[in-house]
């Protein structure tokens, strides 16, 4: 019986033993969200072509860095960046894309959506197309053609103003402290572009729908905005035209009787002479997708383009 007492005591000891084990430690991820207002001196803007770089440079406040990383001599529309170059874009505070399928590499590169602005989106109802590529069919999806949008949107200078206004809006949103300089920069840029736009409208009216040829299909926006009737070929200014090229050209000239041909860069002398023999005047209209090599800027290049067009259609005397 005495032992029973001991037993009961033991049972009480056991049953009243309280154990608390604090376990578990959790790590909590805190979302890293973009701050709304940023410092201009650490603000880096990457662009995919020179016009955007130029527009942004005109508006960006002091300290902000505008980067156009495409090496000289490479068409930015068809540049294939390395993974390192893509990572530079990823690290930027703002990435300015042109839209209309410009810079094919952005289709397959991984870029942060939060910091991308497609400048031409929303500027017009739809983008223009170049000539349709070959449609093809394989498997059950049906026939399809890969996209062939015309992408030199800035050649419609009102569209260029629209693109610049989108850049202005995002800069104001991200750098509200620099509102005055951004707004002032945009206003002068807008004026410069609209002056050129007015001159091109005069050129368009003066051309009276007379046909033009173009060495490359890069002028649809120019044609659409200013009422120019342009037929495009696929000729390179730095390559000698072969017999087939001249035959195709002659066939087109038979149908269209074009007096002028637009080139992205001055063609070879032989090409120029051959065209001259056929009564076609060579007019250089540089789309300015890349910075001018011999100095100057987008505006000076475009002014020179408009001068040459005015001269060709007889709006102004040739210099």
Partner 1 sequence: MKDSMYLAWRYLCHHRAKTLLLVLSLSVFLGLPLIMRAMSRATQRSLLDRAEATPLLLGKKGSSLDLVVEALYFQLKGAEAITEADVDAIQATGLALGIPIRTGLMARGFPLVGTSLDYFRFRNLRIAEGRGLAMMGECVLGTEAAKTLGLGPGDALLTSPSTLFDLAGVYSLKLNVVGVLQPSYGPDDEAVFVDVRTAWVAEGKGHGHQDLAGAGPDLVLKRKAGTVTANAKLLQYNEINESNVDSFHFHGDPSGYPVSAVIAVPHDEKSGVLLRGRYVDAEARQLVRPARVVDSLNKQIFRFERILEIVVWTVGLATAVMFVLVMVLSWRLRAEELRTMTRLGCSRWKAAQIMGSEIVIMVGASIFIAGVFGIVMAQYGETWLQNLILRGA
Instruction: Return the range that interacts with partner 1 (CB under 8 A); candidates 11-19, 56-64, 194-202, 293-301.
Output: 11-19
Q: To the nearest whole angstrom, how small is the minimum distance from the Cβ of residue 87 to partner 1? A: 6
Between CA 75 and CA 91 the distance in angstroms is: 23
Calculated CA dihedral for residues 167, 169, 171, 172, nearest 10 degrees: 160
The tokens for 25 are 């430690």
Instruction: Return the range that interacts with partner 1 (CB under 8 A); candidates 83-91, 198-206, 232-240, 311-319.
Output: 83-91
Q: To the nearest whole angstrom, how small is the minimum distance from the Cβ of residue 38 to partner 1? A: 14
**Which 145-174 positions form the footprint of partner 1 (CB under 8 A)?**
145-147
Q: To the nearest whole angstrom, how small is the minimum distance from the Cβ of residue 134 to partner 1? A: 5
Which among 159, 131, 115 has a CA at the least distance from the CA of 217? Answer: 131
- The binder of partner 1 chosen from 42, 87, 183, 276 (CB under 8 A): 87
- The binder of partner 1 chosen from 144, 205, 234, 278 (CB under 8 A): 144
Q: To the nearest whole angstrom, how small is the minimum distance from the Cβ of residue 44 to partner 1? A: 16
Task: Please say whether the beta carbons of 149 and 127 come within 8 A.
Answer: yes
Between CA 50 and CA 31 the distance in angstroms is: 35
- The binder of partner 1 chosen from 63, 71, 74, 110 (CB under 8 A): 110
# residues contacting partner 1 (CB under 8 A): 56
Between CA 57 and CA 318 the distance in angstroms is: 32
- The binder of partner 1 chosen from 143, 293, 317, 318 (CB under 8 A): 143
Asked if residue 136 binds partner 1 (CB under 8 A), the reply is yes
Which among 156, 152, 133 has a CA at the least distance from the CA of 228? Answer: 156
Q: To the nearest whole angstrom, how small is the minimum distance from the Cβ of residue 112 to partner 1? A: 4
The smaller minimum CB distance to partner 1, of residues 146 and 319, is found at 146
Q: Cα angle at 218 between 217 and 221, to 5 degrees?
A: 115
Asked if residue 19 binds partner 1 (CB under 8 A), the reply is yes
Task: Please say whether the beta carbons of 283 and 289 come within 8 A.
Answer: no
Burial string for 164-202 (b: 16+ CB within 10 Å, else e) reads: bbbbbebbeebbeebeebbeebbeebbebbeebbebbeb
Asked if residue 32 binds partner 1 (CB under 8 A), the reply is yes
> Taken in order 227, 223, 99, 171, is the CA torsion positive or negative?
negative
- The binder of partner 1 chosen from 137, 180, 208, 269 (CB under 8 A): 137
Q: To the nearest whole angstrom, how small is the minimum distance from the Cβ of residue 67 to partner 1? A: 17
Q: One symbol per residue from 202 to 241: x for binding partner 1 (CB under 8 A), - otherwise; what is it? A: ----------------------------------------
319: helix, strand or coil:
coil
Contact positions vs partner 1 (CB under 8 A): 2-7, 9-11, 13-15, 17, 19, 21, 23-24, 26-34, 36, 80, 83, 86-87, 90, 104-105, 107-114, 132-138, 141-147
């Amino acid at each position: 019986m005495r032992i029973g007492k001991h037993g009961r005591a033991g049972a009480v000891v056991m049953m009243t033993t309280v154990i608390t084990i604090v376990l578990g430690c959790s790590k909590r991820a805190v979302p890293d969200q973009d701050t709304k207002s940023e410092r201009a001196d650490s603000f880096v803007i990457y662009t995919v072509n020179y016009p955007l770089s130029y527009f942004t440079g005109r508006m960006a406040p002091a300290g902000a860095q505008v980067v156009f990383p495409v090496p000289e001599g490479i068409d930015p529309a068809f540049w294939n960046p390395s993974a390192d170059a893509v990572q530079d874009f990823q690290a930027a505070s703002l990435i300015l894309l042109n839209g209309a399928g410009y810079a094919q590499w952005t289709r397959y590169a991984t870029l942060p959506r939060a910091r991308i602005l497609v400048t031409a989106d929303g500027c017009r109802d739809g983008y223009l197309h170049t000539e349709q590529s070959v449609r093809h069919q394989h498997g059950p999806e049906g026939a399809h053609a890969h996209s062939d949008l015309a992408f030199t949107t800035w050649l419609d200078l009102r569209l260029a103003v629209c693109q610049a206004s989108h850049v202005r809006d995002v800069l104001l949103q991200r750098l509200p402290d620099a509102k005055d300089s951004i707004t002032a920069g945009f206003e002068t840029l807008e004026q410069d572009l609209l002056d050129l736009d007015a001159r091109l409208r005069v050129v368009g009216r003066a051309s009276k729908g007379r046909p033009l040829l173009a060495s490359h299909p890069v002028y649809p926006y120019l044609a659409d905005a200013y009422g120019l009737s342009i037929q495009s070929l696929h000729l390179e200014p730095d390559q000698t035209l072969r017999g087939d090229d001249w035959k195709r050209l002659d066939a087109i000239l038979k149908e269209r009787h074009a007096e002028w041909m637009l080139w992205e860069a001055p063609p070879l002398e032989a090409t120029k002479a051959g065209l001259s023999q056929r009564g076609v005047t060579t007019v250089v209209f540089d789309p300015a997708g890349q910075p001018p090599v011999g100095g100057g800027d987008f505006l000076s290049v475009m002014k020179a383009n408009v001068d040459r067009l005015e001269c060709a259609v007889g709006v102004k005397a040739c210099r």
